[in-house]
Amino acid sequence: MRCIYLPNQQWFTQLALIFLIAPSAIYAQENQETLTGEISSIIQKYCVDCHGPEESQAQLNLESLSRDLPLVKHRRTWLTIVDRVVGGEMPPDDAPQLSEDERDQLTSFLSDSIDRFDYEAIKNPGFESIRRLTSRELEFTLGDLFGVSVNVASKFPVDLSGTSGFDNSANTLFIQPQLLDRYISAADEAIRVALNDYPESAEQKASFDRFFHTKPKGDQEESETASRLISTFLPRAYRRPVTQAEMDTLLNRYNKARKSGKSFNESMRLAVKLALISPNFIMHIGETPADSKPTRVSSIELANRLSYFLWASMPDDELLQLAASGKLHDSATLIAQVNRMIDDPRAQTLGTVFASQWLGFEDLGTRIRLDPIDNPWCTESLMASMREETAMFFVSLITDDRPVSELISADYSFMNEELASHYRIEGIEGNEMRRVTTAESVRGGVLSHGSILAITSFPYRTSPVIRGRWILTDLLGTPPPPPPPGADEIDEEIAFDETLTAREKLELHSDSPRCASCHKQIDPLGFGLENFDFFGRYRTRNRRQVIDSKGQLPNGTVFRGIDGLKEAIVTHRHDDLVHQVIRKMLSYSLGRQLEYYDEAAIIRIGKALKANEFRMKTLIKQIVLSYPFQYKQHQTEN
């Protein structure tokens, strides 16, 4: 049977070549402006009846799609179309068929337009739309603003995510009435813990003293103190220099309250609350470029981008001061700041916020958990340790400046006693998570982490399909094409046959022509992890049958078990892994979904990484220095 995944594979190889060796073969951009009449008429003649404005089967309207240029904007969709046409699935048998010439013409045009697109020729840094702080960013920001821990994120509804997979994407951060309520309550809560006349803890007292630090006497002194407190507080809250008028707004609020008989402290608190519910606090608001040309972001905006990328929180005083003096645009200064920030505990968010969303393990213990009554062993603390293992591991790759491939191939991990005994590793005592060498065991690298193995399983059963899909899609960024029409229905004959094992059933399922094309890519990857059960425990047998952990990469490389899988990925899919970590981190750092024009930056970052042994600090620095991070441009379309 023909493997219709091939064209994609070729494309990935080509892309890898482009960004690792030497790009810049200039292809005529005019090709991209309009489809030639011949191509258009082929599409009109054979496709639009079912995939047009009147009827859009598979939610595909080729008429509008072929007008949305350049075609690389919808790279995946077009590549799938090429697959379907080359594989003979489209047009369907009962519809008029393309002649061989027409087929070649169409598919080679489409493939060329996409494979040979010259990304370097586009200069578009994209635009970070203004967006609200996520509930987590809010919690961290309030904490850093007052120097006291504030617990507010749990009171927010879960931020649902769309295509980027990150909750900080501007396009899914809506502000709705009920949400604004939460921001107001969060302001109240922050003020209650941070500026309480009757502090409930040493931490709260320290934060109170830091804010109020003097006790003014008399009208004159009070009013001077109020001005001074506001002028210190407001630039930090708004994370930028503020105008006199902005300070006056708060001062008026203070004055009005004070005149109405409220205490000095209470009047100040009301002024602070006004700031904390202002859009200037709850939203990221960058400066709007004067015209539609790419514009370098201001140093203050750069400071904000940097701190929300590395800390998921506000810039600290050092960063704000550097920004205010304009020095942050100096590359050496900027890099020194990156180094300082990576070593700060706040950079843990790269594990707990970024990696947990990218790799999906934040769902463990919340969306994905076992019934606690039937499974008393699956404690909250175990699941927390599992999440922490992966988060700490990811951050350690950065702080220790390890190569990207160690994400897979590491021979160490992080554990405490409960997690170690879950893994049946002896000699780890106590609750504290610590670094553990795992050379002697099956652990090490995210593929062996309980967190990842659990989130890619069903409640009581492993799923080679989900695990395979996770490796291809989330880890490597090379999702298999969407299922062909009708793939939802499982072949009943197979499904009803009780003599088959799950593996046999899946293999049969993969043999059916409709499903085979994708499942041959997906399932064998997952089979390599079958020695781990649905919660990441190692096993050699399942239901009394010895586990067969033989697996295969889409390119045909055969491997066995976790060690084989790790080696196969590092050897054969290294470029994809690097490409994916760049994409994901860039998207997170920009707070938006990536677009086709970001490819140029990804290619450049990839080259720099290659020149530096694919070290993680290089990755972060290159993102910070990249064109889309340093520049922005208004988009004409929405």
Partner 1 sequence: MSKKSWQLSRRAMLTGIGATVCLPWLEAMESESKASDTPASPARMAFLYFPNGIARGSWNPAKSDQNGNLVELNEWMHPLESLKDDLLVFKNLWTPRGNGHRAGTATWLTGGEYDGGRVSAGGKSVDQLAADKVGQQTLLPSLQISMEGEGFFSGSLPRNTISWTDNRTPASREVEPRVVFDQMFRTSTTSGIDKGVVDQVREQARSIRQQLGKSDQRKIDEYLDSIRSIERRLAFADRQAEIAAENKLLTDTLKRPAPGIPTDHREYMRLMMDMIVLGFWADATRISTFMLDHGQSNRYFNFIDDVKGTWHALSHYRDISGRTEDDDGVTSWKSLDEKRDMFNRVTRWHHEQLAYMLNRMKEIDEGEHTLLDNSMIVYGSSLADGHEHSHEDLPVVFAGGSNLDIKTGRYLRFRDDVPMSNLYLSMLNRMGVEQKRFGASRGPLDDLRG
Residues that bind partner 1 (CB under 8 A): 56, 59, 127, 129-132, 157-158, 160-163, 170-172, 174-181, 184-185, 188, 246, 249, 253, 256, 273-274, 277-280, 283, 285, 288, 363, 367-368, 371, 458-461, 463, 465, 488-490, 492, 495-498, 502, 505, 534, 634-635, 638
Least distance in angstroms from the C-beta of 57 to partner 1: 11
Least distance in angstroms from the C-beta of 178 to partner 1: 4
Least distance in angstroms from the C-beta of 502 to partner 1: 6
Task: Tell me which DSSP letter residue 500 carries.
Answer: S
Any idea which residue has 């501007």 for tokens?
Answer: 170
- What is 9-32 written as a DSSP string? HHHHHHHHHHHHS-------THHH
Least distance in angstroms from the C-beta of 177 to partner 1: 4
Q: At what angle are helices 135-146 and 177-194 packed, to 10 degrees?
A: 20
Q: Pick between residue 505 and residue 572 the one whose CB is nearest to partner 1.
A: 505
Q: How far apart are CA 275 and CA 552, in angstroms?
A: 57
Q: Pick between residue 178 and residue 540 the one whose CB is nearest to partner 1.
A: 178
Least distance in angstroms from the C-beta of 180 to partner 1: 4
Q: How far apart are CA 575 and CA 13, in angstroms?
A: 9
* SS3 state of residue 169: coil
- Range 44-52, long-range pairs (CB < 8 A, 24+ positions): 45/96, 46/91, 46/95, 46/96, 46/97, 46/98, 46/102, 47/90, 47/91, 49/95, 50/95
CA proximity to 72, closest of 584, 592, 600, 588: 600
Q: How far apart are CA 347 and CA 522, in angstroms?
A: 34
Between the CA of residue 563 and those of 25, 326, 515, 547, 569, what are the distances in Å? 39, 50, 28, 15, 10
Q: Pick between residue 172 and residue 196 the one whose CB is nearest to partner 1.
A: 172
Q: Pick between residue 26 and residue 490 the one whose CB is nearest to partner 1.
A: 490
Least distance in angstroms from the C-beta of 252 to partner 1: 8
Amino acid type, 11 = W
Q: Pick between residue 90 and residue 187 the one whose CB is nearest to partner 1.
A: 187
Quickly count: other Cβ atoms within 10 Å of residue 610's Cβ: 15
Least distance in angstroms from the C-beta of 59 to partner 1: 7
Q: Pick between residue 431 and residue 501 the one whose CB is nearest to partner 1.
A: 501
Least distance in angstroms from the C-beta of 607 to partner 1: 29
Quickly count: other Cβ atoms within 10 Å of residue 110's Cβ: 21
Q: Pick between residue 142 and residue 569 the one whose CB is nearest to partner 1.
A: 142
Least distance in angstroms from the C-beta of 12 to partner 1: 21
Q: Pick between residue 242 and residue 433 the one whose CB is nearest to partner 1.
A: 242
Q: At what angle are helices 244-259 and 218-238 packed, to 10 degrees?
A: 130
What value, to the nearest 5°, has the Cα angle with vertex 450 and ends 375 and 364? 65
Least distance in angstroms from the C-beta of 620 to partner 1: 27
Q: Pick between residue 74 and residue 560 the one whose CB is nearest to partner 1.
A: 74
Residue 362 in contact with residue 390, Cβ under 8 Å?
Answer: no
Q: Pick between residue 147 and residue 162 the one whose CB is nearest to partner 1.
A: 162
